[in-house]
Amino acid sequence: MAEIFMIGDLARLTGTKIPTIRYYEEINVMPRTERAANNRRIYTKKHLERLTFIRHCRDLGFSLNEVRALLGFADHPAQSCAKVDNIARNHLQDVEQKIAALSILKSELDRMINQCEGGTIAKCRIIEVLADHSLCKDHGNNL
């Protein structure tokens, strides 16, 4: 007999909240399940593997559209992996851009904090910079 799981088991084993699992079913990222005699959903090892895949993708920051595409490719293992590689490379590029933006943000926050002399709010450099965006070092980078 195949291994079966209830939704709570799936949630616990994958670290995914039950409403999220239901949402994934609703948007057809997770396949619908059979129902037991008591009308509870019954999940199989394939559901567990698919949800684990989805969860790992989401943990890596892939969008639901990217996850959907990756699942489509995973469901057809004989295909070339060029499109999968393209999705991963584009996602990496997005991550690198976010890291660069966060690095600029960190530098500006460090600069603001280091310029603060600890006096009164009236002379607080942090408040002054926050009130006048043109005082930001990287004003042109849309901080």
- The kind and range of the H/E element at 35 are strand 34-35
Judge contact between 43 and 33, C-beta under 8 A: yes
Q: pLDDT at position 39, please?
A: 85
28-37, long-range: CB < 8 A, 24+ apart: 29/54, 29/64, 29/67, 29/68, 29/71, 30/54
Rounded to a whole number of angstroms, the distance between the first and last alpha carbons of the chain is: 58
| Other Cβ atoms within 10 Å of 16 Cβ, number | 20
Domain boundaries along the sequence of the chain: 4-78, 84-141
Q: pLDDT at position 92, please?
A: 97
pLDDT at residue 24 greater than cutoff 90: yes
- CATH hierarchy code of domain 4-78: 1.10.1660.10
pTM: 0.77
